[in-house]
Every structure is written in C-alpha cells, then in structure tokens.
Chain A
Amino acid sequence: MRVAVAQIKPYLADVEKNLKKHISFIKEAKKRGAELVVFPELSLTGYDLRDMVFEVALPLESDELSELKKVSKEEDISIVVGFIEESVEYKFHIASAYIEDGKILHVHRKAYLPTYGMFEEQRYAARGNRIKAFNTKFGRMAILICEDMWHPSAAYVAVCDGAVYLLAVACSPSKGVYTPKLASSDIWENFIRTYSELYGVYTIFSNRVGTENGLIFWGGSEVHSPLGNVKKASYFEEELLITDADIDDVRVARINLPIFRDERLDMTLRELQRIVAQREKLEGFVNFIDVLKKHF
C-alpha cells in the first residue's frame, strides 16, 4: 500500500475552506501514486473550537462528507478525515471516518477525551464507546484519535482485534521545551515505536501543524513500520508525506518477534474481570489501597 499522510494546517471552524484544502491534498496524493490519504484529527474543523463545536458539526449524511465520498470514488483513493460528528441523538463526537470507494467504511469516535490542564474536550464532546478494527482493501485497520493513543489499552484492543495498520490521527500541541527534544514529540515518538515494534503493526501517525489561540501543533507525522523503519514529515510545516507501507513487513516482524502470537487474551480478560469485580466490591471504602493490601 502506498500511503499519504496529509500534515495540514486547518482553518479554525471553517469547514468550507478546509474541504477545499482536503480536495487539493487528495488530488496531489493521487498524482503521486498514493492509495490512502490520512488527514489529522478534526482536519475539517480545526481543534480548539470551544462553542463552535455545535456550529461546525456534521451528520454522516452531510454534503461535506458526501463530497469526500464522491472524491474518493472519482479519484480512486481511500480517505481518513477528521470532523465533529453530530449523531442522530444530537451527541457531538470527535470522529474520524474511513472512506473507501465512495462509502464510509468505518467511523471511530474518540473514546478518551482529555479534560485536564489545557484540554477541555469533555465539556463539549461525547465519548465514543468502541475501539474496533475494520477491513479495508489494503488490510485490517483501526483508527485511534490522539488521547486514545495515550492509553496503551486502546492500542492493545485494536491490535487484538486484528488491526495491522494503526491509523493514529492527532492534534498534538507543543509542550515542554527544557530538553533536547520537544517533550510532546519525544513521548509520542516513543509510544509509536513501542506499539509498532512490540505488536508488529504499522503506525500511520498524522499530526496537524499550525497555531490556534496560542497552541502550536508540531506535526512530525510518520509512518512507522513494524521493523522499525520510519518515514517522517517535518516538524511544524505543512507537508504531504508519501511512502510505501508494505504488509510483508508485518509478516517478517511477527516471525522475528512473535509477541502478538503469544498474547494470552483469555488470561488478560480473566485478570481484568477479577480486578473489576474486586474494585466494585471495594468501592466506598475510604482507605481503598489499605483494604486492597489487606484482603488480597
């Protein structure tokens, strides 16, 4: 598979302008031989929307998404696009859709909404409740949106569900300028490497650039192969990164390091169920940890 990562700088709360930008990046990606183009989190709307969430939200049947479905068919290219999804129950989700052959194949709703420090996502958005892999014509994939990736359990579920391509889309802002590397890029690159090489999967990381209300998004998108080969976009600048992501690397990686083969889902599940049951039993105890130590 030849994949393009569209490291764009969206306009804040201007879906029309962003749609145009998407189409020009899609056409360029197609011209350069890409079969899949991955846009960052909230690529159609921008990130720090606050109240504008409710004004830029799109139902899945919206004209804007239909336009992208049309383009995917016309140009024969698959597209991952980020937006605010307005559900039929009027819940607003941070979502990314996988579009193939004129159809939406899968929608992932961000499961972990950071609401601490500089983030206030849960003030506006509803949580997604599923992490699910899906089949595409290039192999089985899963989408994880930004904070989802900070929960190793989410990546674990996606991999257990058979994903060999993790599509990690993000709006990661700069933070921590005291070390040789920007702290936020350092930790992202660390866990992308860990997931890719331990689980034997590709991580296709699409992070945005540009600034919003003082936030500075650092880009540095990458395609990390399970064998540890990295194709990387620049930091801070708009770029269309194009590279091959050959599934054969997954095969070789999983022969070399069969972590995935040796995973014991039944044991993990049993232990998690035990822990959940114990926690429920202990809820209400003030000295939670003390009780835990004493009883188990």
Chain B
Amino acid sequence: MTRALSPTPGRWPEGRRYAVVVTVNFDAELALLGPDPSLASLEKTLSIFRYGAVRGAPRLLEAFSDRGVPTTWFVPGALVRPYRSLLDEVAAAGHGLGARGQRLERFDRLSEGACRDALHAARAAIGEVTAADDVGFRLPSGEWPPGLAAQVLDAGFGWSSSWTGDDVPFLVPAGDGRALVDVPFGHTMHDRLAFAWNFAPPMPLGQSRIASYEDVLENWQLELEGCRREGLCLVLQLHPEVAGTPGRIDLVWRFLDAVLETGEAWVASGSEVASWWRRHPGSGPEHPVELLRRVSPGSLT
C-alpha cells in the first residue's frame, strides 16, 4: 500500500508521468532598489543585476530555445518600460510572463489599498508586453497577508507561484467560494540561494561561501528523481545574473537535458500547469491551507 502520492494516469496531460516548470525571476536593479531605494548610488552592486539583463537573460533564452523548453518569467511591473525590448524577446520566444509586484514590494507591509495599487499597476504593465489573459503572480518576499489571494485575482492575475509546502499545485482560498491556484516551489531548486554573493550589502546575510556547482546540480537531480518517482510537479527558479554566467549555464543545460532525456516529463509553463490544475476538484479538506482556514479563518481571507 502506498501512502504518499504515486504516479497516476491522468494527473498530467499527454500521458506524462510528472511535470517540470522552469521559472526565471528577472529583477534587474530592483533586486537591490525594490527593498531599499536609497541604494541607488551603489553602481557597482547594481551592475551585478545589470549583468543579468546584458548577458544572463540572452544566455538563458538561448538555452531554452535550443531545447524547446517553455518557461515563465516573473518581472516586477516597473521593469517593463526600461527593459521592454528584452521582455518583447522573451514573449516572442513563446515564454510566459508574470509579475512579482510592481517593485518587488513586501506585500505584508503594505496597506490593503497599496497592495491593490501595486497589483493593478503590475498587471497593467505586463499587459503592455503580452496579450495573454492567464498571467501569473509570484510574491516577491515576506509573508502572504490575509486577503491577498482575492486581490491577486481581482487585479486580473490567473494563478500564483508563491508558496512552499506541497509537491503538486493547490488552491489558496480567496473567499466567496473563489480560489487561486498556486504552483509551489522548494528552496533547493533556486539558483540565487545557492550561488548569489555580495560584499556590501551582504548577500546572503551571513555571506556563506558560494556552493559547489556540481553539488547543487546533484541536489537538483535528486529532487528530479524524487519528483519522477511519485509523479509530482517540480518548479525551478533561476535568476539571469546567477544562472546565466558562462560557468553556471552549464548547470542549466545539464539539468534540462536530464529532464528531457527521461521522456516522461511534461515540461510546461506555469500558466499551462495552473490551468490544467484548475480542473481539479480542489485541494481537499485535508490540505494544510484548508486546515489553516478552519483553525484560523483570519489568516488567509
């Protein structure tokens, strides 16, 4: 008898055993200036993130197009104007676009009105680049404040990829019988947490050493193996300035090749996975978000 999830016919389309979603967080200068606008004079530090726009993003786009991998790029709305031509290229290559707020806001520190304004501004900005109606939202950082799911839907976003805590998508209750599909991730599948480093301001906070490239790739491959075993959904988060260096693009190539060579993976955009999952009857009363709604109704809505 199996208690954990196991590969189930029909869980994913096209008879595929498991799903893989490759996402790119394109923050450019807002990685630094979103949380703290007063750092605008730190040109050298800002250049870390400009590297992502200049070299990293084109290198990632090439890796994806060589392999025919559809991806989803999360962009703060305020970057649409300064980086319009790059984002047009992303969209023209068939990748999905989503928003991480307007300026990588901490939504848990904003008033309800400021949340709403940021979400609407971000949705409008993404709408300038793509006519797609199923645009995703990713919480930049911090906690998920009560009522945010409803606000995300009201602003015209179709789905989210903001939570951890599950191996397949689930439905975040939004009140009034509505729900927001989330395509959750894990912290292992994240290039910036493994590799980003800066002297001042310190990144990461404790300035631990840059991780071993081979070890990180092996971690990713082990999570892929675990995902394959049970027929789950694996979400990778990449950042152009991190994964798009000449030395690290090799990890992206090898990970994607490992995904593709099994022939069992449904490699899909976040939007495709979310809309597929929307046909599910729901997360079930035993899902932790439903438990949270029962024990602490004010935590979510």
A binds B: no
| B residues lining the A interface (CB < 8 Å) | none
| A residues lining the B interface (CB < 8 Å) | none
